[in-house]
Amino acid sequence: MSEENCAFCPIPEQITKWWYEDDVCRIMNTPAGTPMVVLNTHSKTLTEEERDHISTIVSDYYGAHNLYTMMNHVEEHWHAHIREYEYEPTQPISTPSEEHRGDSV
């Protein structure tokens, strides 16, 4: 998927509840009502700085939660669904290195 055909590029119209937005990411509900965090740049992976920033923001808003990168419909643009910590992860947070896989925030 090219950036021109990406559902997250440019930043979409606010048709669901948006909880947070800054230069790095935004947190918004999916159409089904599940909160998700979306990287503002068109990339499949996060830098360490982006990962740390997103972890801090999600922790501030949601406490101890896991991020699930279920990028089925928008495979080329990093985003993660925010799930309560007690749920079993289906996929760990997507980062450039394997050492952080499975982290919870």
pLDDT confidence bin for 74, thresholds 50/70/90:
confident
Q: What is the pLDDT of residues 10-60, one digit of tens each?
A: 777 788 888 899 999 999 888 888 898 999 999 999 999 999 999 999 888
What's this model's pTM, rounded to 2 decimal places? Answer: 0.71
Domains of the chain: 3-100 (3.30.428.10)
How many CA atoms lie within 13 Å of 31's alpha carbon, on the beta-carbon side?
4
Rounded Cα–Cα distance for residues 2 and 70 (Å): 19
Torsion of Cα atoms, 41 then 44 then 45 then 47, to 10°: -20
Rounded Cα–Cα distance for residues 92 and 82 (Å): 11
